Amino acid sequence: MNRRLVLACISGVPLAVTAGAYGQGNAPMTVDIAALASDLEPEFTIWRTGQGAPAQWAIVADPTAAGGRAIAQTSTDKTDYRFPLAIYKPYSGKNVEVSVRFKPVSGSVDQAGGIAVRLQTPDDYYVVRANALEDNVRFYRVVKGKREQLAGANTKVATNTWHTLTLKADGDRFTVSYDGKELYTARDATFAEAGKVALWTKADSITHFDNLTIRPLPEEGKQP
């Protein structure tokens, strides 16, 4: 299926609106998780890269989360090459800074949480993820479902502890920060068009997310 057609289907809005109507200007958007319905509709589309059971995302009670509720992928399917996605419908953009708080809760195969940007289809996007079983933060591109690492850093990722992960996409330059500290930058031009933002996990990871903030950046050659 054509990438732009898939992007339109994910967004739930007409194709002509997808790439330009949302996120114009530079005011940050924060998703009010406490106000979302338990099935995440109509704000998110649920997909999965790879194999295994379908993704199962829900709003769960968490007294340590902002507002007492968090977004979580609840399936414990242990398929290793399984990457659940919760794709945020109301925004599509190219240059963007996305930040989220996440808490690894459990998982025997993985305890991972991440952010995807410039998502064209469930098999084509950039993603940064932190893993509590490996104690690292890595940045990948996913092309036709194949994941390729572009950069990474070793750092402590504690289970049952809230951490902050930030990914800034500006042209072909990507900057990754973790718990308020910049870890590294990477360059890649595989996906140069606007795309969706999504939450991401791996395999049997049960990970809670809150404080999802999306800040559009000015396009090249334009002043904010």
**In the prediction, which pLDDT does 26 show?**
75
Q: Which amino acid is at 70?
A: A
In whole angstroms, what is the distance from residue 191 CA to residue 173 CA?
11
**In the prediction, which pLDDT does 14 show?**
30
Annotated domain spans of the chain: 3-23+31-216
Considering the domain 3-23+31-216, what is its CATH architecture?
Sandwich (2.60)
**In the prediction, which pLDDT does 194 show?**
97
**In the prediction, which pLDDT does 74 show?**
94
**In the prediction, which pLDDT does 25 show?**
58
Q: What averages of pLDDT result for each successive group of 10 residues across the chain (224 residues)?
A: 44 33 65 87 93 96 95 96 97 97 98 98 98 98 98 98 98 98 98 98 97 90 48
Cα–Cα–Cα angle for 17, 18, 21, nearest 5°?
55
Q: Give the distance from CA 128 to its chain's centroid.
A: 8
Greatest pairwise CA separation for the chain in angstroms: 47
**In the prediction, which pLDDT does 15 show?**
26
- For the sheet with 146-154, list strands across it: 44-50, 82-93, 195-200, 112-121, 124-131, 136-143, 146-154
The total of other beta-carbon atoms located within 10 Å of residue 121's CB is 22
What pTM does this model have?
0.88
**In the prediction, which pLDDT does 12 show?**
47
**In the prediction, which pLDDT does 3 show?**
47
* Distance between start and end Cα atoms, the chain: 35
**In the prediction, which pLDDT does 222 show?**
53
